[in-house]
Amino acid sequence: MKLPKYIIFTAVTVFVLAFVSQALVACSIKNTRKIGRGRDTVLVWNDTYDIGHYVDGNHLFIWETKESYYKVLSNIKKHKVIWGKLYIVAEDGYAVIDKKDFCRIFLTTPDEEYVKKVGYDRTGNPIYVSKKVDNDLIEYIVDFTDYSDKEQKILKQLAN
């Protein structure tokens, strides 16, 4: 008579565990952003930024929606997470991203060169558009000293 009770107990336990594991998987999927992680994804930061590896180098992107993302910095030389912040040294500047996804960028490329050609006007003159990303999570700073002393030290160490 004890055998059926054990079978029922085991069956119920397996059912409950399966249900709980499915619920946990559903919650984890629901609460993550839609950054596609693939073999060329170098790093994902809080499902808002990612560093992707491409033929022409590693680049930092910000994801605004599942389908909408923008390149923030090109040709990343080094990156490192220290004390809950992501530090990036790239060909065209420096970036520090904090835990709340706020990114402060210092561009080493002059503003007039930080553009991309998107076409030509009717008279044949090239049309340029700034590559600066317009997003509330990104602030472009005007001087390297706008970073804290600690941040400057870390960025300089990464640059060398």
Q: Kindly state whether residues 39 and 22 are assigned to the same domain.
A: no
Domain coverage including residue 122? 32-159
Amino acid 38: pLDDT: 65
Distance of alpha carbon 109 from alpha carbon 43, whole angstroms: 24
Q: Kindly state whether residues 37 and 27 are assigned to the same domain.
A: no
pLDDT along the chain (160 residues), means of 10: 63 56 44 56 80 84 81 91 93 93 91 76 79 89 94 94
Number of H helices, E strands in the chain: 2, 11
Tally the domains of the chain. Answer: 2
> How many beta carbons lie within 10 A of that of residue 81, not counting itself?
11
Q: Kindly state whether residues 128 and 141 are assigned to the same domain.
A: yes
Q: Kindly state whether residues 57 and 37 are assigned to the same domain.
A: yes
Amino acid 144: pLDDT: 95
User: Is the pTM here over 0.85, yes or no?
Assistant: no
Strand segments (E) across 40-157: 41-45, 49-54, 57-63, 69-73, 76-82, 85-90, 93-97, 103-107, 115-120, 126-130, 138-141
Place of tokens 């054990």: 6
Q: Which two tokens stand for residue 22?
A: 């499915």
